Amino acid sequence: MASDLFESPDYYGVDDLLSEEHKLVRAATRDWVKKEVSPIIEDYAQRAAFPTQLIKGLADVGAFGPYIPAEYGGAGLDQISYGLMMQEIERGDSGVRSTCSVQSSLVMFPIYAYGSEEQKQKFLPKLASGEFLGSFGLTEPNFGSNPSGMITNFKDMGDHYLLNGAKMWISNAPFADVAVVWAKNEEGRIHGIIVERGMEGFTTPETHNKWSLRASATGELVFDNVKVPKENLLPGRSGLGAPLSCLDSARYGIAWGAVGAAMDCYDTALRYAKERIQFDRPIAGFQLQQKKLAEMITEITKAQLMVWRLGTLKNEGKASTAQISMAKRNSVEIALKIAREARQMLGGMGITGDYSIMRHMMNLESVVTYEGTHDIHLLITGMDVTGIPAFK
């Protein structure tokens, strides 16, 4: 890939809404992405390889558990800092951001929010330092948008639980040391259970042939009579609301992250358009190209303001599931549209790995699907404004 010349667009002076700490966190993450992610990521994506060497650096910049208190190894930052980190990391690659979303919001968050003190002490510091990589198993082959139908289950065997079933499409699975798995007990109630690599009957086959998120490892979690110690059950919350509350946190990070991918595509297209000469003038001088750029910066500006406001609500403990859902849907939708338009602006060069745009575009096809599809998020907003669920 060409060298990383990224300059962040800020058309409405959103920077003025950030504290000095926010700006420092963003600058540190951006510098790290420019130095460690941009030079290698295209090669890893082309080879569909997971860049494990980034794990330590992600931990060092605080991207594993940014808002988890320092006593458990987290960075103890606020929600806007968390959002800015996800923005900068996804500016580099959605797959690298995925690794952080899963680790922070889908593994560390449920252990922090619903785990016992022993579970927190045992797992959180190692997850924060990157010594452990985690995954989150909710989706099953026959239950994606409708996780309440899951069939993965566990039985109480007296001194342990016996876990059976399978999860599919699980980020980090092939490399994960621990998995927070959602399964039904004998009464059909959903619980979170921590499964550790090495437990007999637990396997994590990798999912191949993805055209999207190629630098993120995806796999299955398969449980064949896995004996799980009773102390690995998350005691603090049960029911579908438990995993859905984790999704709130991860969707919030994605809402910021996708803006980062959009900013990278816009910045690349703007620079290219000013330099690329056709018909004896820069293509940036043609009205049709200016329309594309004008629409991109407008949508990026609206999304930047939306996620900033969502961050302030989240800091105050007031962000609702529906508000987070709207921001996740909007950011990913505008990012995908911007990636497609930006790719066209680069002509033939846009389809190559010399530029980041095509990789972002393909990655965003996963981002628009996971953590609730675009359509499911439309239905969440629809339910919120009408009071009538239209899922079933």
User: Can you give the binding site for ligand FAD, defined by CB under 6 A?
Assistant: 102, 135-139, 144-145, 169-171, 213, 218, 366, 369-371, 373, 375-376, 379, 391
Identify the bridge partners of residue 229 per DSSP, sorted by sequence position.
Answer: 160
- Compute the distance between CA of residue 273 and CA of residue 79 in angstroms, rounded to an integer: 35
Q: Which residue lies nearest ligand TGC, judged by its C-beta? A: 241
Per CB under 6 A, does 141 bind ligand TGC? Answer: no
Per CB under 6 A, does 102 bind ligand TGC? Answer: yes
* Among 3-11, 138-146, 224-232, 262-270, the segment contacting ligand TGC (CB under 6 A): 138-146
Q: How far is the CB of 63 from ligand TGC (least distance, A)?
A: 13
Residues designated as active site: 371
Q: How far is the CB of 259 from ligand TGC (least distance, A)?
A: 15
* Among 121-129, 140-148, 183-191, 195-203, the segment contacting ligand TGC (CB under 6 A): 140-148
Q: How far is the CB of 337 from ligand FAD (least distance, A)?
A: 17
Contact 339, 240 (CB under 8 A): no
Q: Among 101, 103, 119, 204, which residue interacts with ligand TGC (rule: CB under 6 A)?
A: 101
Q: Which of residues 303-342 bind ligand TGC (CB under 6 A)?
A: 321
- Compute the distance between CA of residue 334 and CA of residue 339 in angstroms, rounded to an integer: 8
Q: Among 241, 278, 318, 344, which residue interacts with ligand TGC (rule: CB under 6 A)?
A: 241
**DSSP assignment, residue 392?**
-
Identify the bridge partners of residue 233 per DSSP, sorted by sequence position.
Answer: 193
Question: What 3-state class would DSSP assign to 380?
Answer: helix
- Compute the distance between CA of residue 78 and CA of residue 56 in angstroms, rounded to an integer: 22
Burial (0-12, 13-18, 19+ Cβ within 10 Å), 316: exposed
Contact 314, 366 (CB under 8 A): no
Q: Of the candidates 194, 99, 55, which has an alpha carbon nearest to the alpha carbon of residue 137?
A: 194
Q: Among 19, 52, 142, 145, which residue interacts with ligand TGC (rule: CB under 6 A)?
A: 145
Q: Among 85, 138, 181, 221, which residue interacts with ligand TGC (rule: CB under 6 A)?
A: 138
Q: Which residues contact 124 (CB under 8 A, 6 or more apart)?
A: 65, 68, 72, 73, 74, 108, 111, 112
Structure tokens at 254: 């994605």
Q: Binding string, 244-273, against ligand TGC, x = CB under 6 A?
A: xx-xx-x-----------------------
Q: What are the phi and psi torsion angles at 192 (to 5°)?
A: -95, 140
Amino acid identity, residue 7?
A: E
Q: How far is the CB of 253 from ligand FAD (least distance, A)?
A: 13
239 binds, among ligand TGC, ligand FAD, none (CB under 5 to 8 A by kind): ligand TGC
Q: Which is nearer to ligand TGC, 139 or 268 (CB)?
A: 139
CA-CA-CA-CA torsion sign (42, 43, 48, 52): negative
Q: Which is nearer to ligand FAD, 101 or 289 (CB)?
A: 101
Per CB under 6 A, does 4 bind ligand TGC? Answer: no
| Angle of helix 94-101 versus helix 241-275 axis, rounded to 10 | 160
Q: How far is the CB of 183 from ligand FAD (least distance, A)?
A: 12
Q: Which is nearer to ligand TGC, 53 or 148 (CB)?
A: 148
Identify the bridge partners of residue 192 per DSSP, sorted by sequence position.
Answer: 182
